[in-house]
Structure 1
Amino acid sequence: MDRNGDGDVSGREFLGGLSLFDRLDKNRDGLISTGEAMVLEPKE
């Protein structure tokens, strides 16, 4: 998904839905870092 190779996934690069992007973007900087992407959330 990291199309430009900068190590982060932006909202434009993300292939999933907006709600999933928002859940993964823990620090709300508009990017999903490698660390954020590696965290698995428990099912609710």
Structure 2
Amino acid sequence: MGKGDKKTKRGKINRGTFGVRRPRVKKKLSVETKIDISTKVNPK
């Protein structure tokens, strides 16, 4: 159980792969995509 083990988190980090033990971190939405300027109502 260590760097050479395919099924452990440390082994996944060593190999640079992802799986059940080390899932990929999803990117968060940026502020620009959440607030769409073009859809705002223009005041008269």
Q: Which has the higher contact order (CA 8 A, sep 6+)?
A: 1
Q: Which has the larger radius of gyration?
A: 2
**Larger strand percent:** 1
Normalised to the residue count of structure 1, the TM-score between the two structures is 0.17
TM-score normalised over the length of structure 2: 0.17
